[in-house]
Amino acid sequence: MSILIKDSIIVTQDSNRRVFHGDVYIEDDRIVEMGRINVEADFILKNKIVIPGLINMHTHLPMTLLRGYGDDLPLEEWLTTKIWPVEAKLKAWHIAIGTKLAFMEMIATGTTCCNDMYFFEDVIAREAKNFGMRCYAGFSIIDFDTPEMKKEMLLPECEKFIKKWKNDGLITPVIAPHATYTCSPETLQKVAEIAEKYDCFIHIHCSETRHEVYDVLNKYGLRPLQQIKKYGLLSEKTMLAHCGWITKGEVKEISSAKACVIHNPVSNMKLATGGYTPLPELFEAKACVTLGTDGAASNNKLDMFETMKFAALIHKHHRWDASIVTAQQTLDMATVNAAKFLGINVGSIEEGKKADIVCLDAKQPNLMPRHNIISHLVYAASGFNISDAIINGKIIYHERKFLNIDEEKIYEEVEKAKEELLQS
């Protein structure tokens, strides 16, 4: 497949953060040429704002089925009284349809790569492959039975899952212990051993709430990050979701370990966790910081444009400093920071890189006038300004339509799944 994007504003996110007016030519899965180009192509797109595909670093894909269910509750009550009881009813087909809905929403709002953590992860990986979505698929480990299997089967099945998907071009298997308050020291130790054996990423919730921090302290005498470190899980392959209640000392430890912090501002605000990922301190320590939406049950949307705006605004407001997190830093968290940590050749628009690219219609009321395109992307744009999405060189979404997906059938299945899950 060949794609020519012409007469467009190209936000490269390269090392110079260059923005220019011109063309981009894509052939197969690569960006071949940039500048002024006159060639024939299978697809020609014109008059766009062109950016790297956004990377959603923390989500629970099938929870789209629980969007709007159990709102306005604190995290612990939300989990124990609403989410976990419904999740106990999940079957593989619920997971498949919830995942399809999540991919539709993410791709239509500019996300081309995601980092998931849930149950039935093999089903999720298969759906990602079918959609053409770049996906880091996190096999959840937790110290109780899941809807899919008994707890004693989780670690052995996780190994099988890693072996199955280890060499796939789009799907990367990840081991995902839920948190230090739901995984025992023995479980964490075994997770570390599997991660080292297969050289895979670890994805874990860390210090999301004050309640979590004190719960782990009371149980083990250590804070969550110290528990993670003690059992060998803190490394350059570790992705720490939230970190809203970490100390300045822990910021340094995360930076030293070259681990990645995933800021989920919308979910944190909705669940009233009270603490927010300390971006200024993490930036100063030169730690890797990325962004995530969390699941649609705790965010209600999977729109990374909204997440970018909240990420910038929450810290300006909280610190009484309008310059403390800039639009450029925020866009970096959603693109190049994540791509660099994951070690994938995306996140910027440069010749030779993989073509994970999304396009916004240039002539939209909320994107005019064009004083500052980076500002517009973070503070003014909506995911629904997206017109086209290209993943691994293939157009998945074109002129606001999915090319190979029966959208109406998916919507019907979603309603059927919802009725089955939420019936008393």
Q: What is the per-residue pLDDT across 21-47, written as a single tens digit (0 to 9) for each?
A: 999 999 999 999 999 999 999 999 999
Residues 98 and 67 in one domain: yes
pLDDT top residue among 80 and 171: 171
For residue 178, tell me if it sits in a domain.
yes
Residues 194 and 58 in one domain: yes
DSSP labels for 196-248?
Answer: HHHT--EEEEES-SHHHHHHHHHHHSS-HHHHHHHTT--STTEEEEE-TT--H
Residue 217 φ then ψ, to 5°? -60, -45
User: Which position has the token pair 């939300």?
Assistant: 78
Residue 413 φ then ψ, to 5°? -65, -35
Residues 33 and 69 in one domain: no
* pLDDT tens sequence across 99-145: 999 999 999 999 999 999 999 999 999 999 999 999 999 999 999 99
Residues 184 and 323 in one domain: yes
Residues 170 and 312 in one domain: yes
Peptide bond into 369 cis (omega under 30): yes
Residue 347 has a pLDDT of 99
pLDDT at 73 > cutoff 90: no
Residues 187 and 232 in one domain: yes
Residues 31 and 73 in one domain: no
For residue 414, tell me if it sits in a domain.
no
3-state percent breakdown (helix, strand, coil) of the chain, nearest 5: 40, 25, 35
Give the whole-number percent of the chain exceeding pLDDT 70.
100
Residue 422 has a pLDDT of 85
For residue 307, tell me if it sits in a domain.
yes
Residue 419 has a pLDDT of 93
Number of domains in the chain: 2
Tokens representing 249?
């000392």
pLDDT top residue among 410 and 72: 410
125, HSE (Cβ side, Cα atoms, 13 Å): 24
The Cα 264–Cα 352 span in angstroms is 31
The Cα 226–Cα 125 span in angstroms is 31
The Cα 344–Cα 346 span in angstroms is 6
For residue 421, tell me if it sits in a domain.
no
Return the CATH number at 88.
Answer: 3.20.20.140
For residue 304, tell me if it sits in a domain.
yes
**Boundaries of domain holding 185:** 54-342
**Kind of pairing between the strands at 43-46 and 394-398:** unpaired
Residues 97 and 9 in one domain: no
Tokens representing 342?
């994951």
Average pLDDT over residues 278-303: 98
> How confident is residue 70, by pLDDT bands cut at 50, 70 and 90?
confident
Residues 132 and 15 in one domain: no
Average pLDDT over residues 151-172: 98
pLDDT at 219 > cutoff 90: yes
The number of beta carbons lying within 10 Å of the beta carbon of residue 232 is 15
Return the CATH number at 48.
Answer: 2.30.40.10
The number of angstroms, rounded, from the C-alpha of 314 to the middle of its chain's C-alpha atoms is 19
End residue of a domain, out of 321, 342, 363: 342
The Cα 266–Cα 244 span in angstroms is 12
Tokens representing 124?
């999720």
For residue 420, tell me if it sits in a domain.
no
Q: Which of 100, 95, 101 is nearest to 119 (CA)?
A: 95
Residue 297 has a pLDDT of 94
The Cα 233–Cα 202 span in angstroms is 7
Burial class (CB in 10 A: 0-12, 13-18, 19+), 167: exposed
Supply the angle between the helices 92-108 and 407-422 in degrees, to the nearest 10: 130
DSSP state of 367: G
Residues 283 and 333 in one domain: yes
For residue 348, tell me if it sits in a domain.
no
pLDDT at 71 > cutoff 80: yes
The rounded mean pLDDT for the chain is 97
Residues 108 and 33 in one domain: no
Residues 212 and 360 in one domain: no
CB crowding 13-23: b at 16 or more within 10 Å, else e: bbeeeebeeeb
* pLDDT tens sequence across 317-349: 999 999 999 999 999 999 999 999 999 999 999
pLDDT at 424 > cutoff 80: no
For residue 410, tell me if it sits in a domain.
no
